[in-house]
Chain A
Amino acid sequence: MIKKKVVAMLLAGGQGSRLSVLTNRMAKPAVPFGGRYRIIDFPLSNCVNSDIDTVGVLTQYEPMELNAYIGTGQAWDLDRNSGGVFVLPPYVSGSHGEWYSGTANAIYQNIAFIDRYDPEYVLILSGDHIYKMDYSKMLHEHEVNHADATIAVRSVPMEEAHRFGIMNTDAEGNIIEFEEKPQHPKSNKASMGIYIFTWPVLRQYLMADASDAASENDFGKNIIPKMLKAGCRMHAYEFNDYWKDVGTVQSLWEANMDLLSDPPLLDLSSEVDHNKEWRIYSKSPIMPPHYVGKNASITNALVTEGCEVLGTVCHSILFAGCTIEEGAMVTDCVLMPGAHVKKDAVIHKSIIGENCVIGEGAVVGDDRQEVDGEYDTHLTGDITLIASGTEIADHCRVPVGMIVNTGIYSRNKEA
């Protein structure tokens, strides 16, 4: 096996329960984003663009969609003779086998995979962030500092700092203290969940952690505090370009809308970032260019292949193969692949799952008071969420913030 300088390990096992019905049948990293991508395209493309060609993707929850999507890795040029992308589910060895019990445990169970490449460094990534980042710069800093671990951090507003893992650093950027969701944060440098470890050092700590029955086998809770305590050289790498955790319905919707601001907060077409082309790769839907009808109106939107837009689309993102019939009105929405909005339907501030059908004259995201519904909006706020494959019957109304699960929805039918 050819030796690799760095191997990336992408933690993609999260259930993503805060994404509600969007993760019914797929792991969070497989959730569609930005018109033609899935969340995992961002870390994978960042790896390729940073010249990292060996990536292990650790899956455990609903891995089918993710496995099928990654395939041979051809979409990211990760179909390599040596290295490439590997999906690594938990497995049974001898009579013993177990699920990944934590982030560190997932890496621990795959020590053999990493050892195959005998790397100097291991890059740990998570599959629920949207950002463009050159990992090779971070790696360079890690090497220059002779660090045992380098953790990417970003400045967050002080009043929000209590929601993050906060790194307190000295003047040189060395981490002196780590606090997980502190009540009274001393700094606003939040961990982004991106770590580079010197492999022999991490390997030792993983072995020790595995034999510690009290440990939760988590990087943030166990490995990093233990390394700090033992006096390892740990460095903070500051990254202040666009970065968004899309772990909630609200933040997923916001991150999509960030692509539409003028200028966009995250410019996917930008080729000047990092002074080199930084394309985000994805699997092509293999569809023709989209058609815009004679009476259509599209403003402030992203539209991709295979769509047919005959109605009105404003401030929205349409994924591949969506159909918007005449008279339909779509505003502030994210329509995932294959969604079909029939004549005169109105959709406002909603996330519509794959292959949903919104019936004729139906209203989704209806904010009128009289519309009934006992439902829980703590996950969605004022965003209406329709699960993949749902059919909203003609002339039915779905109130603001409701989550509609797969099936046929026929409540609140208007005469």
Chain B
Amino acid sequence: MHGKVFGLIYTGESSMQLRDLTYSRSVAAVPFAGRYRCIDFVLSSLVNTGIYNVGIIAQKNYHSLMDHLGSGKEWELHRKKDGLFILPPFVTRENTGIYKGTLDALRSVLGYIRRSSQRYVIMTGSHTVFNTTFHAMIEQHIETCADITIMYNDVPVGHNDDQFDELRMDLREDGRVQDLQLNPYRPTSCHSSCDVFMMEKNLLEYLVEEGVSHGYTDFIRDVLLRKVNTLKLYGWRYDGYIGCLSSIDSYFTHNMNCLKQEVRRDLFNTEHPIYTKVKDEVPARYLPGAKVTNSLVADGCVIEGEVDSCILFRGVRIAKGTRVSNCLVLQGCDIQENCELDHVIFDKGCTVHSGRRLAGYDSFPVIIRKGSSI
């Protein structure tokens, strides 16, 4: 069955809300949970479903993303037949290189879509983290004879996780979509789209061609919303943990949630692991005097100080006499002696010199740009 599906991941989401974290990278390449990038989750979910033809639509700041994905070998996507296709923007007579929206991006990769030999496509965004396989979704899609199946999860009705482009859906009892609302001011439905759509490739081609000919630019706003009644849209409910990294606040919260065992069990389900670029770091080293509690620690860390309720990414150093709590410390940061740090997000490669103090608040973590020296 999975041999009939290819994957298409759009990585051009607006990332303004993530502030300095997306200064030099796309949302897809934002580091998550100690050793991953955001895109690892959806990419691994596709691969663990047995989907081995995956196109990744790159838009801006995609250097970091390409560096991370490489040939795709960590996801077993370095293949003779199909494999990983990174689809960067390009300039032609009808292209400006900058996509006006998802539909515009899809139009520019129509060549790849046409060439793919699979009958179905699973199209996703890149700013949500979850770990699943799509077998059940594919099965439901075929059984219900749906035109498009949309993966969703249930959230509190009034809740709006300051997401950009949040799509809420009203469902009939049989799962068919009755109404779609984009960024509803007062949501009436608890079903929130996870930005994963399954359909036949032919339908996608048709919708893109038809939409473009009407001058539309966005797939959800201009195509889906208008076609709620003409297309058979179905919802497929996902009950596992899902994190939408759409703002600094949600980035901080979803990272910190990984300190909870039930979240880890779900996101890092050993039956379908999350793959990522392998760095061959040495095991984390706890020196005499280290005091670490309630934290996630990646390989390559060297810890001599105190760490509480933190996520330490790969190769972080915490020196003697330093106390770090409620922080996200990204890869390769060097925290020197006698610092006091609380509720801070350090992007990659920051240096904090001896004796510095920094504190944010749980609803407003301080964020330090990549490579800063304090």
Contact = CB atoms under 8 A, between A and B. Distances in A.
Interface of A: 34-36, 74, 262, 268-269, 279-282, 284, 286-305, 308, 313, 317-318
A284 B278 contact: yes
Nearest to B300: A269
Q: Most chain-A CB neighbours within 10 Å: which of B273, B291, B292, B299?
A: B299
Contacts of B261: 291, 308
Q: Most chain-B CB neighbours within 10 Å: which of A292, A296, A302, A305?
A: A292
B280 A262 contact: no
Contacts of B258: 288
Question: Which bucket holds chain B's interface residue count?
Answer: 35 or more
A309 to B, nearest CB: 9
Nearest to A305: B299
Contacts of A317: 283
Given A289-B33, A290-B297, A299-B288, A34 B283 contact: yes
Given A36-B299, A299-B289, 6 more contacts: A36-B282, A268-B282, A289-B34, A291-B259, A294-B293, A294-B294
Interface of B: 33-36, 73, 258-259, 261, 264, 267-268, 270, 273-275, 278, 280-300, 302, 311-313
A289 B299 contact: yes
Given A74-B73, A302-B284, A297 B291 contact: yes
Contacts of B289: 299
B35 to A, nearest CB: 6
B286 A300 contact: yes
B288 A289 contact: no
Contacts of B294: 292-294
Q: Most chain-A CB neighbours within 10 Å: which of B35, B278, B285, B290?
A: B285
Contacts of B281: 269
B32 to A, nearest CB: 11
| Chain B, interface SS category | loop
A299 B286 contact: yes
A45 B33 CA distance: 29
A288 B284 contact: no
Contacts of B278: 284
Contact of B268 (A35, A288, A313, A318): A288
Q: Most chain-A CB neighbours within 10 Å: which of B290, B297, B298, B311?
A: B297
Contacts of A287: 268, 270, 273
A287 B274 CA distance: 8
B286 A289 contact: no
B296 A291 contact: yes
Contact of A288 (B35, B73, B280, B293): B35
A359 B264 CA distance: 24
Given A296-B292, A297-B291, A288 B264 contact: yes
A313 B283 CA distance: 15
A303 B287 contact: no
20 contacts: A35-B283, A262-B288, A269-B281, A280-B280, A280-B282, A286-B275, A287-B270, A288-B267, A289-B34, A289-B298, A291-B261, A292-B294, A297-B291, A299-B290, A300-B287, A300-B288, A301-B285, A302-B282, A303-B284, A313-B286
